[in-house]
């Protein structure tokens, strides 16, 4: 895609996509890497090393471990996004719980619903989804070191 600030490319790779931005133009000849000095420097350096391997005709290698999602994380994030879609479409919390967690949620009497475990669970899921959409996702994109330690496979 070409925009006012240059050309943005998403290059497919068996080990994970490469995102490339040619500032101000279309030409790769004489290009260089610009790495901002910020908290994301390690992730940026890793991305450049992967891209350089690809340019050299080698396998680029996997994404940083902290950028990889486990099957459990993927399913949890999918559940959160589906719940948030339900909220934004105007569905009640009870209906969202019935669709995503347990169809019997529809049969719980109103007086019991206020203290039901399903209600509390769907509220937690929606609260976490809201946090993620309000900037929490940035830790995932940055390969946050704390997150990497928290989800390290043993």
Q: What is the mean pLDDT of residues 55-80?
A: 84
Q: State the residue range of the domain holding 51.
A: 2-63
Q: What is the mean pLDDT of residues 66-93?
A: 89
Count how many Cα atoms sit within 13 Å of the Cα of residue 84 in the half-sphere of its side chain: 16
> 106 with 138, same domain?
yes
Percent of the chain with pLDDT strictly greater than 70: 86
Q: Which of 10, 41, 63 is the last residue of a domain?
A: 63
- CA nearest 101: which of 84, 118, 120? 118
Q: What is the mean pLDDT of residues 45-59?
A: 86
Residue 25 banded pLDDT, cuts 50, 70, 90:
low
- Distances from the Cα of 41 to the Cα of 36, 44, 60, angstroms: 7, 5, 19
Q: How many domains does the chain have?
A: 2
Residues with Cβ within 8 Å of residue 4, at least 6 apart in sequence: none
Q: How far apart are the first and last CA of the chain?
A: 40
> 17 with 42, same domain?
yes
Higher pLDDT, 6 or 80: 80
Q: Which of 63, 80, 96 is the last residue of a domain?
A: 63
Strand (E) or helix (H) holding 135: none
Q: What is the mean pLDDT of residues 66-90?
A: 89
Q: Which of 19, 47, 63 is the last residue of a domain?
A: 63
Percent of the chain with pLDDT strictly greater than 90: 36
Write the pLDDT tens digit of every residue in 62-73: 877 777 777 888
Q: What is the mean pLDDT of residues 73-85?
A: 92
pTM, two decimal places: 0.59
DSSP notation for 27-68: --TT------SSTTHHHHHHHHHHHHHHHTTS---PPPGGGP
Q: Look at residue 152 in the predicted model and tell me its pLDDT.
A: 45
> 105 with 55, same domain?
no
Among the residues of the chain, which ranges form H helices?
41-55, 71-88, 93-100, 110-113, 117-131, 137-142, 145-150
> 118 with 55, same domain?
no
Write the pLDDT tens digit of every residue in 133-143: 888 777 776 66
């Amino acid at each position: 895609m070409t925009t006012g600030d240059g050309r943005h490319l998403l290059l497919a790779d068996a080990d994970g996509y490469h995102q490339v931005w040619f500032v101000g133009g279309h030409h790769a000849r004489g290009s260089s890497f610009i790495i901002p000095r910020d908290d994301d420097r390690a992730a940026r350096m890793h991305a450049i090393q992967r891209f350089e391997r690809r340019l050299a005709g080698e396998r680029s290698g996997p994404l940083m471990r902290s950028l990889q999602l486990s099957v459990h994380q993927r399913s949890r994030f999918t559940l959160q996004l589906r719940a948030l879609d339900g909220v934004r479409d105007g569905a009640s919390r009870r209906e969202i719980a019935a669709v995503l967690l347990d169809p019997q949620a529809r049969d719980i009497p109103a007086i019991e619903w206020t203290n039901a475990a399903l209600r509390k669970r769907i509220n937690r899921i929606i609260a976490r989804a809201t946090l993620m959409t309000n900037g929490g996702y940035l830790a995932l994109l940055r390969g946050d070191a704390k997150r990497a330690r928290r989800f390290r496979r043993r």
